[in-house]
Structures are given as structure tokens and as C-alpha cells.
Amino acid sequence: MAIQDVIRMGHSTLLKRAEEVSDPKNPEIQALLEDMYDTLEEQQGVGLAAPQINVSKRVVIFYVPSDRQETYEDADEEVPMTVLINPVIEPIGDEIEESFEACLSVPGMSGLVARWANIRYSGLDKDGKPFEREAKGFHARVVQHECDHLDGVLYPMRVEDIRDFGFSEELRDSFMEEDEA
């Protein structure tokens, strides 16, 4: 039960496919979840994947705060802290949405990433019980971003035009100029 260091882009663990969890009730996994909650809270992020604290297991946690709804016209509801183990994602339909993402393993940066707008995801919860949910908008984006970490994919690898990747503060300035023009 401790805050762990978040490893950053360049660390080899972030490029590996993480291993399936065979027994979610194993105390080792429960301790991992505690570390992940503590680390996410300290970092004030919305999601964290186990590889980001250098544990190559297929475990992610995330939540959707209510204020995120403003970002999306067709936003879904606030989503409480969710544990997702051995996740599987399926797109629903073929709609794609582009939006800026950031990552605790790529601090200070943002990039424009295309994601499925609507998905169904399934996996095991913290007690090892199977569950399934549908998600759209920001919720769907967070799940896709976190699950990418389990396959060794960081969002900058998905940025189609490198000009859409940069320091968050600089990008924010250029958006403001565009808005004002």
C-alpha cells in the first residue's frame, strides 16, 4: 500500500505486452490495486495501467469525473473508480472520434488521437467477477487509452500527424489563438 513511481516513455516495460492475471483474488494483485489507487490519487490522473508502475500485468483502473462531461456534447455519466482485469474491448459501430490525450507516462505533453467513439468492454472486477459495460465519449477513450498500455502502446504512437503532438501548455496557447481568430 504505497505510492509508486510512474515510469515514463522510454522505459522498456511500457513497450511490452502485459501478462494475463490468472487469479485476481491473489493477495499480490490486491496489493497491486492498492498501489494503483494510491498512485493515481497522488498523480491526480483519471486512469492508470499496471505497467505504468512497472508491473507487467493486465490490470487497469480508471474513473470519469463529472466535470469531464462538459468536454463532450454527447457525454456519458460520471463513472466511479473501476478496476478492469484482463480486459477485452470491442468497438460498437464504426464511428471514430478525435480528441487530445495526455498520459502520466508522457508528462507535460498532449496529442490528438483517433479512437472508437462507442465500445463494449469486458473483463474481471477487483473480486474476479466478470462484467461488461458499454461506453462512449470520454469514458470510451479512457478505457482504450488504458488498455493500450497493456499491449505496449503509448498514445503518441497513435498520433497521425506529429504536428498534433506537443507540450500541453504550448498547444493550449495555439488553440486559444485559433478560437480568437
Q: Which residues bind Ni ion (CB under 5 A)?
A: 103
Instruction: Determine which one of 42, 90, 146, 170 is catalytic.
Output: 146
In the complex, residue closest to Ni ion by CB: 103
146 is catalytic: yes
Nearest-approach distance from CB 14 to Ni ion, in angstroms: 9
Pick the closer one to Ni ion by CB: 86 or 148: 148
Q: Which is nearer to Ni ion, 107 or 130 (CB)?
A: 107
Of 111 and 137, nearer to Ni ion (C-beta) is: 111
Cβ partners under 8 Å of residue 180, min gap 6: none
Set of cell numbers at residue 63: 474513473
HSE-CB at 156 with a 13 A cutoff on CA atoms is 18
Contact (Cβ atoms closer than 8 angstroms) between residue 140 and residue 119: yes
Least CB distance from residue 27 to Ni ion, whole Å?
A: 26
174, 121 contact by CB (below 8 A) = no
Q: How far is the CB of 127 from Ni ion (least distance, A)?
A: 25
From the CB of 102, what's the least distance to Ni ion, in Å? 8
Choice between 13 and 128, CB closer to Ni ion? 13
* Buried/exposed 117-152: b ≥16 CB within 10 Å, e otherwise: bbbebebbebeeeeeeeebbbbbbbbbbbbbbbbeb
Q: Catalytic residues, which ones?
A: 146
